[in-house]
Structure 1
């Protein structure tokens, strides 16, 4: 009998989820999983899934981390509350998390970190390229799990964000930066598996290195479903 596909809860914006969710769901399916759409105002139960993806979207309110509000910020407090609660519930239930763009920032905040509210004001030398095409270069930190999954050669990614991780949350380490030093990926150093990337790998499903990110999540979710350690399963995908 074929094992069932791990089920992944995916949070999206009420405003743009109709176009974002199908693309993330495609990546999850190609990696061996099955996605459920979650958004503010709908039921979302972490116990009903094997893993969690926090998708991209609007800026996160500085109320969550004591930051300052910038005029250009577009906020969704209901989504903030939903996603922060889901990340904490995922860790409480030992379930893996992938954060995409905003999701990477929410992963950091839920673990007690902070953000640069205007990342390009702080990192003026960073390439401010807003596109779904892979035109921004990031450098992956050697010795990290992301390096195992994607290698340490410079990686071309897309970029749509205005915020970025500042002070790291508890149990996280930096997994990638851009050429100006802005943090582009963070990862958890112990169980359960958690990875946050500042870019949008769901738009780059044709790239083997990007699909490795989704395969890692599905491997971790399958291990959690089977009550096994997650990190060895992720490491096996990376080989």
Structure 2
């Protein structure tokens, strides 16, 4: 059985829960998860897909902006994940960016971020929660709509920044009720998606698991083609 290797990025320390849950989803759909942290020799790995996990806000220097807020940054992680994203983009690998992963993907493609969201919210709460208490509105006809099997569902929210100007090639395919970007994708690629929520905390939902299932399906297809 073809078991694609999927790189899962994260910080040098911490974020145990999200990384374990992403790895569990990868295994569930027949992949081999490999955790990669700052300092690891990831360039020596042979892998077929990437998941960039959530965490601290990315440094605004990465999208040529002055800091408007002063959260905790992780430049070591920023550098690692920027390099992994660039490699995946150059090789056309399937990639899922989760929360800060979606934000960093957008930045690598020339987009920028809202550095705070409280002032942009009118209809939605600024409260962080792993529970699916917020409404996602999905663009009709998008790849995301196909993967989720719906144009409207409930998601969680663990972020205080979000995509503003969209990076080159990306399209907004999901928003919340305040119009804040919740998902982007590149329709030219087989699977290049960034989601602002955390699907790994919603694995009880068939819809959310489909994101990981599709990532593995594309990775498996690419691997077979390379072997032929």
TM-score (norm 2): 0.93
Question: How far apart, CA to CA, are the structure 2 residues paired with 1:206 and 1:160?
Answer: 18
Deviation above 4 Å: which 4+ runs of structure 1?
none
Match of 2:153 among 135, 148, 155: 155
Paired position in structure 2 for 1:139: 137
Conserved 8 A contact 2:124-2:134: no
Query: 1:57 is matched with which residue?
Result: 55
Q: Distance in 2 between matches of 1:13 and 1:82?
A: 9
Task: Measure the CA separation in 2 of the matches of 1:168 and 1:109.
Answer: 8
Q: 41-50 or 95-104, which moves further after superposition?
A: 41-50
Distance in structure 1 (CA, Å) of the matches to 2:222 and 2:96: 14
Corresponding residue number in structure 2 for 1:183: 181
1:170 to 168, 171, 194: 168
- Measured in 2, the distance between the counterparts of 1:110 and 1:12 equals 17
Distance 1:193 1:24 in 2: 17
> Which residue number corresponds to residue 94 of structure 1?
92
RMSD, matched Cα:
1.6
Matches within 5 A, 1:106-117: 106-117=104-115
In the alignment, what sits opposite 1:223? 221
- 8 Å CA contact 1:91–1:192 kept in 2: the answer is no
**Is the contact made by 2:53 and 2:98 (CA closer than 8 Å) also made in structure 1?**
yes
Distance in 2 (alpha carbons) for counterparts of 1:13 and 1:221 = 24
Q: For 2:126 and 2:188, how far apart are their aligned partners in 1?
A: 33
Specify the alignment match of 2:127 in structure 1. Answer: 129
Q: TM-score, normalised by structure 1?
A: 0.89
In 2, Cα distance between the equivalents of 1:90 and 1:71? 30
1:22 Cα shift?
A: 1.1
Q: CA deviation at 1:102?
A: 0.6
Q: Quote how far apart the aligned CAs of 1:47 are.
A: 5.3
Paired residues of 2:140 and 2:151 also in contact (CA < 8 A) = no
**SS at structure 1 position matched to 2:136:** strand
Matches of 1:46 and 1:63, distance apart in 2: 28
SS in 2 for 1:135: strand
Q: Could you tell me which residue of structure 1 aligns to residue 103 of structure 2?
A: 105
Instruction: For residue 87 of structure 2, give the secondary structure of its aligned residue in structure 1.
Output: helix
List runs of 5+ in structure 1 lacking aligned partners: 229-239
- 1:67–1:115: 8 Å Cα contact kept in structure 2? no
Counterpart of 2:41 in structure 1 is 43
